[in-house]
Amino acid sequence: MDRELAVSLLRGLVEIRSLSGEEREASSWLVERARGAGYDRAFVDGAGNAVAELGAETASNVIVLLGHIDTVAGVVPVRIEPRDGRDVLYGRGSVDAKGPLATFVAAGARLGGAWARAADVRVVVVGAVEEEAASSKGARFIAERFDGRAEKVPVACVIGEPSRWDRVTIGYKGRLLIDLEARRAMTHSAGPEATAGTSAVALWNLVESFCATFNNGRDKAFDQLLPSLRSINTKSDGLEERATASIGLRLPPDFDPAPLRSAVDQWASSPGGCSIRVAYRGYEPAWRGDSRNTLVRNFLAAIRAQGDPDAKPSFVVKTGTSDMNVVAPVWRCPILAYGPGDSRLDHTPDEHVALDEYWRAVLVVERALLSFASQPQ
């Protein structure tokens, strides 16, 4: 696959709206493009993931390239325009994370099935569904498929997330979501009773204080417990008032959620006139991989081989969460995240990726896989 076809693949994928839970059209489209690009097998699996495979199903080694095909909401008009002297593609998902997913598909097409069979390797490219939701439905389906019982555990996995073309990501923080619902009978606003909304504020204050205590002496963001107030709403029908709130937490590697849950549950057991319900969801422990493994070394070498004097090959850790958190504890194989784009543009109205960077990333993945597959596993 040459650059023109690779850009066409990316633009076509970005043009298809694919919110979490609504990925079917994009998955089917990507499967058809993979078939046309020479993949040995391509299909939509039982979870709705787009899957494209190179090599024999009986190959000795499996490498999974796990991207995600869903996006958050928001319309960013798709177009290619010059910006800062470079052509860039605008569109929802161009960075997070259809850019990395298209990178995987294009790199695999360049490698081809004949190479995979000769190398005795099976490359499985996945466009997973519901990564942007707390369910990670697609990644869990793939994790269970390659669990050593149904099919052999991969020897390596690359997660499709933006890292810039000259960096790899070796770790992500964990996640925990706390949902609150508080209800109480209406009272006069001049009275002394606390409102349902006050309960939502109180919960946020409790969580924020817990995090501040935990973070004392921790200077690096990756090591801190980071809270965010994702939503807070109040409403009344004249007889009852209701407040809801959602709090997100990004978890460091050594965090045990039990003390926080105990503190929240104890607070909720003394509702002060409100009926309070607290629910926990979306829990994923943090994961940090080994920066010295063969996969990381091959990617950094492939970045250097592009000969760009401005490149700064390096590895980073991220304060967000990805499908790495789902599959890494199951497979425990060499793993990293890679993809073109600036992650600061994730979910923003200005989401865009430079086409030069996208193409460099395609060449990096191709070269890194060629090298990795040629080495004893």
Residues with a known catalytic role = 70, 131
33 phi, psi to nearest 5 deg: -65, -40
Which residue from 252, 370, 367 is spatially nearest to 313, judged by alpha carbons? Answer: 367
Q: Which two tokens stand for residue 324?
A: 């790495």
Kindly list the strands in the beta sheet with 79-83, ordered across the sheet, starting from the edge strand earlier in the chain.
79-83, 86-90, 352-354
Residue 231, exposed/middle/buried by CB under 10 A (0-12, 13-18, 19+)?
Answer: exposed
| Run of H or E residues at 175 | strand 174-185
Residues with Cβ within 8 Å of residue 75, at least 6 apart in sequence: 92
Buried b (16+ CB within 10 A) or exposed e, 22-46: ebeebbebbbebbeebbbbbbebbe
DSSP 298: H
Q: Where are the alpha helices (DSSP H) in the chain?
A: 3-15, 24-36, 98-118, 137-145, 196-214, 258-268, 294-304, 324-331, 355-373
Residues with Cβ within 8 Å of residue 232, at least 6 apart in sequence: 197, 200, 201, 204, 243, 244, 245, 246
Q: CA of 310: how far to CAs of 118, 279, 353, in Å?
A: 35, 48, 18
Residues with Cβ within 8 Å of residue 155, at least 6 apart in sequence: 61, 62, 63, 333, 334, 377
Q: Is the peptide bond before 42 cis (omega within 30 degrees of 0)?
A: no
